[in-house]
Each structure stands twice: as structure tokens, then as C-alpha cells.
Structure 1
Amino acid sequence: MSALMNATRSELAKQFSVSVWWILLIVLVLYVGGTAGSLAAAFGASDSGLAGAASLPGGLGDRLPVIVYGTATAIGYVFPLIVGTLMVTGEYRHKTLTPTFLATPRRGAALAAKVLAGVVMGLLYGVAAVVSTVGAGAAMFAVFGVDPQLTEPATWASIGRMLLALVLWVLVGIALGALIRNQIGAVVGVLAFTQFVEPIARLGAALVDGLAPVVRFLPGAASDALAGDSVFNALGGGTADALEWWAGGLVLAGYAAVLLVLGGILSWRRDVV
């Protein structure tokens, strides 16, 4: 156990010794916080009937705060996903995996250390994302007289599940990095799938009969289900038969587990070149 803890501390030292982690963290906070504040202002103005306000989907009622706060996961999940991917592919790119294996000869333990370090990184990014969306969203709700529902247990339960979702996304990224050694290929693949393939598929589910039951098992849809709601659902890109939150969590955790096993078997144990 002490060897695993030492390996985990080493992994965390690697992450905090480079500037990528805080650059991505700052971009994440600005991106999701700014989006949450803008959405809260737009929905608040629309619901208030202000002149010149854009007409947005109505009837959201009690869903509105969670939708805005859920920006942390709905659009911010790509950041922890990339962080997890870089935690592994960066070692291949910079040729540091050989000393990692020399320090931790058991490769399973080395991968487990990355997973534990990934949980810490996921919590760091998750807390930063949630604080920025809740802070910006609640502030805009106050301006337009919308109840931010910060005294509701259901809101905090949803926020807790958002943190869990962002931790799981780091683990999915680590698993992808273990499976796909090439850093550029892995990052491009992640961006292509998360920013184009899945959003298009989820939008298509509203137009193609029989596609919705399949699309809800995609990782992004499962993440939204775990969080409780998302702006994607509010604007018509979600499915009416979305998974229960616990089922969404199991699906997302399943992606991480299956990819980790595949990465460990097919790539992680191969010779380092």
C-alpha cells in the first residue's frame, strides 16, 4: 500500500510540476462560469419578459437552476477528459514512462497510481467548475429575481453528482490515454467525438425514430443524466427517456472501467519505445 501511495504522490508531483494543469483550469473556470452567467441572464430575461430578450424554451420551472449550474458538466467535461488523457499520453510523448516503470515495476500498480491521482485532479477541476457555474449563475438569477434554489437539498445533491461526473471523466481520459498512446491522435479523437460526433447524434435523436434509446447510453448523455439535467436537454438535444441519475453514473463508470481494462491489456503492458 505504501508503494502505491508513493507512486500516487509521484504522479501528482508530475501534474503540478508543469503549467498545463493551471492553464486548463483557468480556461475551464472562465468558459463554464461565463457560459453559466450568460445562460442565467438569458433565461432570467426571457422569463421576466424584458423587452428585446430572446425567446427561450419556457416551462423549465424548477429545472432552471440545475440546468445552469450543470454547465459545469454539460460543456466543461471535456477539460477533465483531456487532463486524464494527457496524464498518460504525455508520458509516451516525453519518454518519461520508462523511469516511471523503473520506479514502479508493477505496471498495474503504476496505472492504479494514475487512477488515484486522476481522482484528485478530477475533484480539483470539479470543485473549480461547480463553484464558477453556481457563483455566476446564482448571481445572475438574483439580478432577474429568479430563485437560485441554493437552499434546496435536491440542488446540492445534483451539485454533488456533478463533481462525481467530472471525476469519472478524468478516469475515462486516463483509460483512453492508456489505450491510445499517440497524444495528438488521442486528443484529436477526444475533441472530435465530444464536440461533433456525440452532439450531432444527440440532436439527431430528436429527428430519427428509434435512435433516442441508443443515444442515451453515449457517455455525454450518461454524464448529463448523472448530473440531473443540462442545457443540452433544455434546448431540445436531450432525449425524453433519459437514464436515471444512478444509471447514468453506472454507464459513465462502465466506460472508464472497460477502457481501463482494454488499455491495460492491449497497450499498457507493451514495450515502451
Structure 2
Amino acid sequence: MPTFSSDGLDLAYVEEGQGDPILLIHGFASTKEVNWINTSWFKTLTGDGRRVIAFDHRGHGGSAKLYDPNQYDTRLMAKDALRLLEHLRLQRADIMGYSMGARVTAQMALLYPEAVRSAIMGGLGIHLVDSIGLPTSIAEALEAPSLDDVTDPMGRMFRAFSDANKADLKALAACIRGSRQILTREQVGEIRVPALVAVGTRDTIAGDPHALAALLPKGEALDIPNRDHNPAVGDKVFKQAVLEFLARRP
């Protein structure tokens, strides 16, 4: 597995295909494989003639593990993504993130607009602005002795997901405590790249995609029918909408 260095951290990445580059940024407690390869996103995008790149966030998958919440600021993770593009000698790419990865995508589009050809934010709507993210009770669930000790339903879901992926639970607990940055409405209005905001109609985590898209100068919203937060990632309606969005963006 190839790696690149970001501020002294070794972060794992993978790439396939040729053509216009698109960088995929996974969600909290996931990995590049779980979020993007196992859901057939790599197959979908390479089949559309694109160079597809994904990496494991700090604290996740094959990347370096950190235990200080301050090291998981989404602005730092946006810089990780930028450094991967620099490592690959790419001046810019389309950027697609899901959930926490969408927060990172938004930060990247705000801070490094010259590197972002377009921004696709899945699993995150207006909560980019009015919510700091998943509850910190999830961190407590990750730090519990075992899944049997967790009673909170959302905590149980993330603990079981993390256990199944053999994740570093201590690193993930630090991540959820540190990656809680929001953008103001004014900052969202400064994101001038073409943007697609896609959220499942049963998603209770993300917030309204139409409300966020309305704040983006070049934003558009997509309702992913009858999907809640996790199953929406690999939905065929989402995939088709992304291909159409990429085909028509400048």
C-alpha cells in the first residue's frame, strides 16, 4: 500500500484509472476500502474514464494513529488531502467526501479553492453550518470495555462498525472529539466551485441538503430516495447523479 507524508505523518492511499482525477474522502470510522472500494465507487468512476484516488484519514485504516483530539481538526485533514494531490503532482481535482469527509471537502474548497475543481458532499447537509457533528457519546461507546457495555443505539452502531473493521478505537475517540468544526453561512457562501450536496431522505444525521445547497453560489441538492446515513453511500441514484454532475461541470 503506497503512503505519502503529511506534516510527518504517513498516510495510506490508493489510486486506479486514468483521466480527470477525483479524490475521495471517507467518513468517520470508515476507510478508503469500506467507503469507496467495497461500495463500487472505484469501479463506477474508473469505468467513467477517471483517475480515482482515495486515502485513509489520520487515525483510520492504514494511516498513522494519533490520540490528541487537537490533531483531528478538519482543517488539518483538508491539508492532508491537499498534500496528497501535491504528492501526486496534481494541481487540482474533483473532490468527493462523505459525512465527516464532506466536512473536510468543504474546508478544502474554502481554504484551497485553486485545488478543487468541484466539490461533492454526501451525507452532509445544513448540519455543516448548524451542528458540530456526531455526538461525543460515540467516543464514550468506543472507549467502553466492549460492545456489550454500550446501551446508546448510535454508540452501539459505531462501536460494532469499528470493531468489525478492527479500527483503533482510542484514535477514533480522539477523532470524533477533535473533528467538530462548522462553517458559517458566510464561509459557505465563499465556496464558489460547482458543488453537489447529496443526502438520503431517511438520513437523520446530515441535515437538509437543499438548505446547504442554497447557501452555495453554485450548489445543487440531491435527495437519495429511501436511504438513511450509511446505506446512502453506495446508492445507485447517488452514483448516477455524481456521474451526471461531473459530466456537466465546467
Report the TM range for the smaller structure's normalisation: under 0.3
Task: Name the one with the larger strand percent.
Answer: 2
Task: Name the one with the larger helix percent.
Answer: 1
Q: TM-score, normalised by structure 1?
A: 0.25
Larger radius of gyration: 1
Q: TM-score, normalised by structure 2?
A: 0.27
